[in-house]
Chain A
Amino acid sequence: MHLVLFLIFALFALAGAANLLLQKHPINSALSLIVVMSSLAVLYLLLGAEFLAMAQVIVYAGAIMVLFTFVVMLLNEGREEKTWGSHAARVVGFPAVVALLAVLASAILRAGRHYGMVSLSDGITTTQDLSRVLFRDLLLPFELTSVLILIAILGAVALARKDDGNA
């Protein structure tokens, strides 16, 4: 059952990613990205990470992608012309992608041998477990990350602020 669901949603994610690249209209690409994000959420759920799955939907598929679609809608870019890329992209790009994938795959496999793999199972990491780890064992890194995000927010506000001369 888990495997069937995994296959279905992995397929959704891959199809969405491929569609993202192939679509000519930016809004279709943005919507494909939403499909990818939501399918990833289901994959997290299959691994028992329920809080992470919902955070993925609320934050990525919800908030962040709404901003993407807003930008596309407001700029109202027309259709893009389909090209097969430059000569350089074909000669260098494809081998580079293959090499990158190989490096990533081998790194993940090695890490998997080191830490052990998670299997699709009925086990669930409850929100209580997750918050215990975040707020007790990893409190300092967690709070440092939030400070980092706060700095990013302040930076965005400072950049977006209109310069009216007296500020």
Chain B
Amino acid sequence: MQLWMFVVLSVVKVAVVLVIFLTAVAYTVLLERKLVGRIQNRWGPTRVGPFGLLQPLVDGLKLFLKEDIIPSGVYRPLYLLAPLIALSCSLLSIAVIPFGETMRWHGMRLFVLSDLNIGLLILLSVTSIGVYGIALSGWSSNNKYSLLGSLRASAQMISYELALGLSLVGVVLRAQSLSLTDIVKVQSVHGIASWNVFGGGQIFAFLIYLMAAYAETNRAPFDLPEAETELTGGYHTEYSSMKFAMFFMAEYGNMITVSCVATLLFLGGWTSPFGDLLPPPQNLVVGVLGPIFWFVAKVFAFLFLYIWVRGTLPRFRYDQLMSFGWKFLLPAAMLNIVGTSLVLAFL
């Protein structure tokens, strides 16, 4: 393939994925407001557009038009850099996620931005860099609440990153590859029976991943970094207008990425739950759209669970959070690795 063709195709793919991803971020916010509203026996946003469907648009416009206040005591270079780091890390991780069949056009995979041997490691490394956005925002704001919130967030993210990474090892052992495409292929044969969470025997790893992922994205019940009653707003207290929106988008972007990863690693990715029970589709359109439908449906289900948990569970105390992460999740993840290795070696 010629270089210019590669460049043009890549740019088009990046643009399409970015637009879809950012729209998904906006509508995840709406979904959360709607669902939490229903859980609390109220309607949620209903006024703008039919069923409140245009609400994200208006919210975005509002944030865009608000006055951008930079407090005088902040350390400016890092104060401006921090939201950029947070948002770009959040957007970067979507680049390695495959979301459809492995079909090629002019030798280029269509439904993934870049299919890498080490896709899983890239995801983990991007998360570990994303901590800086939060850590620096709290420190550079020169505000005690921001600093406390960012220290909490960073300590929490570093602690749960271990359990998160270790919970994925069982999946990698089974697939014998760090490539996300290969991991999905291992789970594709018998539908739901060969998904890692059921047939692969990784149900404990899935539960560990679930809990660690909630903590990693600073979401309820682990949303200590922005506990309003103690910290006003947490690390983004001093941010306003689009800079606040960038943190907000980063958080929801991370939520979606985490849901995509859970789908790929544990729920069989874009493969249908029926596997070889159904004949492979003859129609090309069904063959292309079917996998994408299953992928989106699984991600949506995971996001729904995310919001459901937020609407249901109260917040942890900080020492409970830390001892839970280090004394329960981490040993449990290690036991899962030992168990999976033994099973794979001797069965």
Asked if A40 lies at the interface with its beta carbon under 8 angstroms from chain B, I say no
- When C-beta atoms are compared, the residue in chain A nearest to B128 turns out to be A62
Asked if B78 lies at the interface with its beta carbon under 8 angstroms from chain A, I say yes
Task: Name the A residues within 8 Å of B178 (CB-CB).
Answer: 127
- When C-beta atoms are compared, the residue in chain B nearest to A34 turns out to be B132
A63 to B129, CA, bound (A): 9
Partner-binding segment picked from B64-72, B115-123, B212-220, B278-286 = B115-123
* Complex partner residue of B118 from A28, A54, A61, A66, CB under 8 angstroms: A54
Nearest Cβ in chain B — how far from A110, in angstroms?
33
A136 to B335, CA, bound (A): 23
With an 8 Å Cβ cutoff, the count of chain A residues facing the other chain is 23
Q: Is B135 a contact partner of A73 (Cβ separation < 8 A)?
A: yes
Interface residues on B, range: 20 to 34
- When C-beta atoms are compared, the residue in chain B nearest to A1 turns out to be B3
Asked if A145 lies at the interface with its beta carbon under 8 angstroms from chain B, I say no
Nearest Cβ in chain B — how far from A51, in angstroms?
7
Asked if A57 lies at the interface with its beta carbon under 8 angstroms from chain B, I say yes
A57 to B129, CA, bound (A): 8
* Complex partner residue of A66 from B121, B124, B132, B147, CB under 8 angstroms: B132
* Complex partner residue of A126 from B117, B135, B158, CB under 8 angstroms: B117
Q: Is A69 a contact partner of B132 (Cβ separation < 8 A)?
A: yes
Nearest Cβ in chain A — how far from B309, in angstroms?
27
Q: A57-B129, A62-B129 are in contact. Are A127 and B117 (CB under 8 A)?
A: yes
Residues B105-152 near A (CB distance < 8 A): 117-118, 121-122, 124-125, 128-129, 131-132, 135-136, 139, 147, 151
Q: Is A66 a contact partner of B117 (Cβ separation < 8 A)?
A: no
Residues B80-122 near A (CB distance < 8 A): 117-118, 121-122
Q: Is B135 a contact partner of A62 (Cβ separation < 8 A)?
A: no
Nearest Cβ in chain B — how far from A8, in angstroms?
18
A28 to B77, CA, bound (A): 10
A34 to B118, CA, bound (A): 21
Question: Contact mask A18-36 → B, CB, 8 Å, 1/0?
Answer: 0000000001100100100
Asked if A58 lies at the interface with its beta carbon under 8 angstroms from chain B, I say yes
Residues B232-275 near A (CB distance < 8 A): none
**What are the 3 closest A-B residue pairs judged by CB atoms, nearest first?**
A62-B128, A54-B121, A57-B125
Taking A38-B129, A54-B124 as known contacts, 17 extra A-B pairs with beta carbons closer than 8 A to each other, sorted by chain A number, are: A50-B118, A50-B121, A51-B118, A51-B121, A54-B122, A58-B121, A62-B125, A62-B131, A63-B158, A66-B128, A66-B135, A66-B154, A69-B136, A69-B139, A70-B154, A73-B151, A127-B118
Interface residues of B (CB under 8 A from A): 75, 77-78, 117-118, 121-122, 124-125, 128-129, 131-132, 135-136, 139, 147, 151, 154, 158, 176, 178
